[in-house]
Structure 1
Amino acid sequence: MTSKVATVEVAQPYAQALLSIAQSKNLTEEFGEDARVLLSLLSTQPELRNFIDNPFIQSENKKALIKQILGEGANQYLRNFLLVLVDKRRIMFLEPILQQYLALLRQLNQTVLAEVTSAVTLTEAQQQAITQKVIAITGARQVELEAKIDSDLIGGVIIKVGSQVIDASLRGQLRRLALRLTSS
């Protein structure tokens, strides 16, 4: 297996190349949406990831699958980029390349990624309130929310923006209360 550092080293130049292509064709947001769809597909379909990562499967089979997944209506530049990844034997890095592309796109758009963990699914109003709070804290133009559910939280939310963590969960409040009581 490759290390995380090695993966980032390989993914970074390809993500920058993809962003460069997208910017030259004025397709950065369209590529971003396609990247999100592909990442979702890879995370929900382990068989697909195994097929793409398997070095013993011939390149032509991988190319056929990519063409089938993308369909005829897909952007030709993105399709060609993915086919080049197959040719260069870098398709196994597709997921980190797409993640890095989205990070570069967020940086370009002055958007921050806020990972929100809650006990239950958040309503639209709660998501808007969190978005406004994150904008106030970070000064970013936009916020991209990535919601996760953790039933162990009991209630409240944990918001992670970069290295900053805001723990407004009941579990966190109980933990802080217990620490105060034991230190008194």
Structure 2
Amino acid sequence: MREGGITSRIADPYAEALMSLAKDQNLTDQFGEDASGLLNLLQESEDLRQFLASPVVNTDAKKTALHQILGDQVHPLIKNFLDLLVDHRRIIFLEDICRKYLVLLRELKQAVLAEVTSVVELTDKQKQAIRERVKQVTGAHEVDLETRLDPSLLGGVLIQVGSQVYDLSLRGQLRRLSLQLNTFA
């Protein structure tokens, strides 16, 4: 894993340049969708991450592979951006650049990211209720949800928005009850 400070110093300017281009072309949302898609692709394929990070794979092979994998799924300017990252040997930072771009996009749209952990997959109605509640609490105009499953919660949800955590899980309720009982013992 790379050190956060060094990664930020390299990834942030690229993400900011991508945002500047997106604003100029009125493509901020399109680039956001492409960045999310690239993140999902990288998270699902360890082989692709290793291939792109490998110093022994030449730049043409990396570009060709990216173009074949992505096809017409991303905007042509994103393809050009990926080629630039390969040429400058910065493709290893693609995941960090995409994450930073999404942070910049949320700031632009006055949105927040809510990371929601639950025992079972949430329904669309539950997701919408969480979005509305997070909007009320944070004053954000939009809420992006990132969901994950954790059977150890026993029930309920755990919601994290920035550094704030809302523990609405059964495990959390039991822990709080246990702490209250211990104060009486």
Quote the Cα distance in structure 2 between the aligned partners of 1:2 and 1:170: 35
* Alignment match, 2:2: 2
* Alignment match, 2:153: 153
Quote the Cα distance in structure 1 between the aligned partners of 2:168 and 2:41: 31
SS in 2 for 1:20: helix
Quote the Cα distance in structure 2 between the aligned partners of 1:138 and 1:116: 15
1:2 CA displacement = 3.0
* Alignment match, 2:134: 134
1:95 aligns with 2:95: yes
Aligned 1:25-36 pairs, distance under 5 A: 25-36=25-36
* Alignment match, 2:165: 165
State the aligned residue count.
Answer: 184
Quote the Cα distance in structure 2 between the aligned partners of 1:155 and 1:139: 27
Quote the Cα distance in structure 2 between the aligned partners of 1:68 and 1:84: 17
Map Cα deviations across residues 53-110 of structure 1 (whole Å, 9 max, x no partner): 1111111100111111221564221111110000100000000000000010010000
TM-score by length of 1: 0.97
Specify whether residues 72 and 158 from structure 1 end up closer, same or farther in structure 2 by C-alpha distance, changes over 3 A only: closer
Specify whether residues 73 and 166 from structure 1 end up closer, same or farther in structure 2 by C-alpha distance, changes over 3 A only: closer
Quote the Cα distance in structure 2 between the aligned partners of 1:180 and 1:74: 53
1:37 aligns with 2:5: no
Query: CA RMSD for the aligned pairs?
Result: 1.0
Conserved? CA contact 2:117–2:149, under 8 Å = yes
Conserved? CA contact 2:11–2:93, under 8 Å = yes
The one-letter code of the counterpart of 1:113 is: L
Specify whether residues 74 and 150 from structure 1 end up closer, same or farther in structure 2 by C-alpha distance, changes over 3 A only: closer
Quote the Cα distance in structure 1 between the aligned partners of 2:150 and 2:70: 33
1:155 CA displacement = 0.1
Specify whether residues 165 and 73 from structure 1 end up closer, same or farther in structure 2 by C-alpha distance, changes over 3 A only: closer
Quote the Cα distance in structure 1 between the aligned partners of 2:2 and 2:33: 27
Quote the Cα distance in structure 1 between the aligned partners of 2:72 and 2:161: 38
* Alignment match, 2:68: 68
1:50 CA displacement = 0.6
Structure 1, unmatched stretches of 5+, are: none
Q: Detail structure 1 runs of 4+ shifted over 3 Å in the superposition.
A: none
Map Cα deviations across residues 20-39 of structure 1 (whole Å, 9 max, x no partner): 11111111101111111111
Which piece of structure 1 moves more, 64-73 or 136-145? 64-73
* Alignment match, 2:124: 124
Which piece of structure 1 moves more, 71-80 or 50-59? 71-80
Sequence identity (%): 52
* Alignment match, 1:179: 179
SS in 1 for 2:158: strand
1:147 CA displacement = 0.6
The one-letter code of the counterpart of 1:47 is: D
Quote the Cα distance in structure 2 between the aligned partners of 1:142 and 1:7: 28
Conserved? CA contact 2:112–2:140, under 8 Å = yes
